[in-house]
Structure formats: structure tokens, C-alpha cells
Amino acid sequence: MKKYLSFLSAAAIVLMAVSCDPKTPKAVEITLQLMLDGANFATPDVAVSLSDAAGTATYLEASDASGAVKFTVPVGSYSASALYKTAEEGVRIVYSGSNNAILVADATTVSFKIDLNKVESQQVIIKEFYSTGCPKTPSGSYSDDAYFILYNNSEMEADASDLVFSILTPSNGHATNKYLDASGNLSYASENWIPANSAIWWFTSPVKIPAYSQIVVSVFGAIDHTATQSASVNLSDPAYYWLSNVDNITEYKAAKYAVSESIPTSHYLTCKPFGQGTAWLLSNNSPAFFVGRMSQSEAKALSENEDAFDHTGGTTKVFNAAKFPKEKVVDCVEIFQAASVAKSNLRFSSDVNSGAVVIATNQGYTAYRNVDKEATEALPENSGKLVYGYKGGTDDVEGTTDPSGIDAEASIKAGAHIIYVDTNDSSKDFHQRKVSSLKQ
């Protein structure tokens, strides 16, 4: 028994010696409080990392419901960072922040703050827009094959069910624009609306777009156009959607409305036409197209409220313009015809979009979104998958190319995730692509 007690006493002495050794760092509990705009960011499960100044140790914890995180670390200097991603009503939101001046002294409890920044970006963007036609066999041009591609520009699934689509008046960028004053300013620039033209389209069934994925929407002909026009595109894929005329066959009776049996009826979009014509007035040379977010009932009510239409363009039905709320615009693209740039005018006010992409008509060219090089290269999963040396632009013809140099479609085929730029300036966001991405 005596021997056992002696052994314990010796062990205690050793422990005391270790704890009193000045070379042994003392453990201190610290609290990091997440902050946003001067208030506690009371959100659980925010990832917070803490690293020592020497770079030899990193600690990872998640915040509690109050937005606080506790660590027990040795005395020393540290840097902390926090990152939280979420989505609200189709908007990708990233909260991030850091504190590089954390000095843990010899105390029992120490508190520090991490101030977060909030960055919002739309999940769903226009990846590609094609309406300017291609060479026709045996001669002439063909433009019944218009389509657009919606892309989920984020790592979270996007709900596109309440997205709506329309164009601005006038239909062509180089047409007479009665909304311009003597100084060349748009009359609605300081208003809270933009003039939607002809119709507003909406989905008729729920639509989800997985992370870094896309859906294709055919405008007039959801068919295989290559069957008769080799330079055109195949829009008969059952995964594609269609701006259908089945609910408006009396108004939209143009022969170019056609659909393949492979397209399910659940993929038909619809509208309540408020303009005039046998087809939606989508320009085949210089449209101003936009995506909005509102419920089907809101879109229908806006399309039917004749008392609220704007008639700046003229008093007859063909000039009806629905006042679409600016705050509900998700994304847009403004296109100028290459042959008419000098006499073209922007139709989106600068608080919505501040530039235009130039496209030559009847060549099969498309407006294709530029790659965000820095953001795309920063994705860890893209290591070894990005394809460079992009040759799909028209910088050797009379147009533009993607300044990133990344071949987005080739990279996607290689398994990469692409993040596209979104500056609300079509001249910076898009370039003229030689061939539809659907033909690759």
C-alpha cells in the first residue's frame, strides 16, 4: 500500500512540474461572436475556422443559435474566418468575414468578434440567348429556332418555378424609341418599372435546376430544326421547355409554332398576350430580353390589367406595354444588331443593365455568357478539369470572345463546375459565340 501511494505522489509531482513549466502553453477558452451590421448574427451551424499565427494548427467549429463559437486554445495569436451560404427566393447569399487580430492572453475567458459581409447574387441567370437566326438551305435566313438557356450559377439547387420572361419595347434596339427624351434619357429611368412588350410568360409546373446545371427553353419551334436546316439546332429534347401557343391558338397562330411529341406538356409555358400579332414579338436581330420573378397569378393579373398599361409608344393594342416592376427583374440581356449599332439605344435603364452585346444576324451566332475566371478557378473540385484556349468566340470575325480564355462547354464535359460573370452590363457579361452551345 505504501508503495502504491508513493507511486501516486510521484505522478502528481510530475504533473505539477509539467503544468508549471513555462514552456507548456496554457489552454484558454475564447468566444467568437458573429456580427452583421452591428448586431449578433444569430444563426446556427455557420462554419468558423481558427488558425494560429505559425500556421501549425487549425480549429474548426460551428456556431450555436446565437451566432457564437467557443474554442479552447493555447495562448497566442490567431486569425479566424467564417463562411455561410444560403438561398432566399432565388437569390444566392454568402456571408463571410474574418478577424486577423485575435490575441489570446493568459485569461480564463476572452471574447472576439467576426464582422460578416453579405453578398447577394442571382442563382438563375441567362447563360445563352439565341434569336438572330442562321443561314437557310438553300438560301436566305432562318429564325424559327430561337431559344434561351437558364443556368443555376450556384452550388445550391434553384427553384425556378416562379420565373417569368418577357421583352422590352421597342422590339428592335435600332427602332424609333418614343421613351427617349431630347437628351437621350429613358422616361422610365427614374421610375420603378420597365415596359414589357407583347406578353409575359410563366411556367405551368414546378421547375428545379440542380447546382451548376441548366434548362433550355424553346421559343417558337420545340422541334429538331436540323431536319430541314443543317445550320440550325435540335430543340426536340424531352428535357427542354417551350413557350407554347396551345392556350393562345387564336392569337398565336403563326406556322412557326411547332412542338415535338417528345416534349412533355408539363414543360409547356403559357402567357396572356396583351400585344398584337400572330406570334410573340421577339426580335430576330436585337431583342432586350429579361427574366423576372413573380407568381403565376401576379403575371396573369399584370398581363390583363389594361388600365395599367403604358401607351407611350402608341395608343393601339400593338403598343401596349405592361409596367413590369424593376425590383422583380432577375436577369436580362440587351442585344444590338451588328449592322445597326450606331443608331441603337439601350432599352434597359442603367439601374437594371448598362450595356449591350453586339450580334451579327443570320450567322447562327449566339449571345453566350462569359466565365468568371477567378471564381471558377477557385472551386476546389475544378482542379485538373478546366479547359483553356477557348476558340468559340468571334474575335477573328467582327465580334468578341470570352476574356477568361476558359472553354466553358469543354470544361463542363470534363466534369468542371462553371461560374459565370454577372455585372448587369450585357457588354461585359456576354460575347458573340460562333456556334450554339447545343451543337457541341
Dist. CA 430–CA 360, nearest whole Å: 14
Q: Which three cell numbers mark 399?
A: 465580334
**Side-chain-side CA neighbours of residue 240 (13 Å):** 27
- Grid cell 502504491 — which residue? 4
Contacts for 57 with CB less than 8 Å, ≥ 6 apart: 51, 73
Residue 116 pLDDT exceeds 50: yes
Strand ranges (E), 274-422: 288-293, 321-325, 329-337, 357-359, 366-369
Residue 179: predicted pLDDT = 97
Answer yes or no: is pLDDT of 18 > 60: no
Q: Does residue 10 register a pLDDT over 60?
A: no
C-alpha cell at 56: 501549425
Q: What is the dihedral of CA 281, 282, 285, 286, to 10 degrees?
A: 100
Spatial CA neighbour of 362 closest among 139, 31, 123, 75: 139
For residue 369, what are the contacts with CB-CB under 8 A and spacing of at least 6? 125, 126, 127, 128, 151, 420, 421, 429, 430
Cell numbers at 287, concatenated: 431583342
- Note whether 257 and 220 are within 8 A (CB): yes
Pairing of strands 158-159, 208-209: antiparallel
- Summarised one tens digit per residue, pLDDT across range 167-188 is 999 999 999 999 999 999 999 9
pLDDT-derived band at 26 (thresholds 50, 70, 90) equals confident
Q: Is the pLDDT of residue 436 over 80?
A: yes
Tens digit of each residue's pLDDT (9 = 90 or more) over 130-149 = 999 999 999 999 999 999 99
Q: Which of 64, 81, 73, 63 is nearest to 29 (CA)?
A: 73
Contact 412, 381 (CB under 8 A): no
- Sequence-ordered list of residues with C-beta below 8 angstroms from that of 234, at least 6 positions apart, any chain: 224, 225, 226, 438
**Chain centroid to CA 308: how far?**
30
Domains and CATH numbers, the chain: 18-121 (2.60.40.10), 123-367 (no CATH)
Identify the band that residue 88 occupies on the pLDDT scale cut at 50, 70 and 90. Answer: confident
- What is the per-residue pLDDT across 263-302, written as a single tens digit (0 to 9) for each? 999 999 999 999 999 999 999 999 999 999 999 999 999 9
pLDDT of residue 13: 34
* Tens of pLDDT, residues 315-336: 889 899 999 999 999 999 999 9
425: nearest Cα among 374, 370, 376: 370
Phi-psi region of 291 (alpha: psi -120 to 50; beta: other; left: phi over 0): beta
Q: What is the pLDDT of residues 212-254, one digit of tens each?
A: 999 999 999 999 999 999 999 999 999 999 999 999 999 999 9
Cα–Cα dist 327/329, whole Å: 6
Cα within 13 Å of Cα(210), Cβ side:
2
Predicted pLDDT at 3? 32
Decide if 233 contacts 436 (C-beta within 8 A): yes
As a whole number, the mean pLDDT across the chain is: 92
Q: How confident is the model at residue 17 (pLDDT cuts 50, 70, 90)?
A: very low
Q: What's the confidence (pLDDT) of residue 23?
A: 57
Whether the predicted pLDDT of 352 surpasses 50: yes
The angle subtended at Cα 355 by Cα 179 and Cα 409, nearest 5°, is 135
The pTM score is 0.85
- For the chain, the first-to-last Cα distance in angstroms comes to 85
- In 181-333, alpha helices (H): 296-304
Predicted confidence band at 5 (pLDDT cuts at 50, 70, 90)?
A: very low
Q: Which of the 8 DSSP states describes residue 440?
A: -
Determine the Cα–Cα distance for residues 11 and 344; give it in Å rounded to an integer: 88
For the cut 50, the answer to whether the pLDDT of residue 2 exceeds it is no
Place of cell 462569359: 370
Those residues with Cβ within 8 angstroms of residue 250's Cβ, 6 or more apart along the chain or in another chain: none
| Mean pLDDT within 414-439 | 96
Q: What phi and psi, each to the nearest 5 degrees, are found at residue 327?
A: -70, -15
For position 440, what pLDDT does the model report? 65
| Residue 6 scores a pLDDT above 60 | no
How many DSSP H helices and E strands does the chain contain?
Answer: 5, 27
Per-residue pLDDT band at 56 (split at 50, 70, 90): confident
Neighbouring CB atoms inside 10 A of 162's CB total 19
DSSP codes, 78-97: EEEEEEEEEEETTEEEEEEE
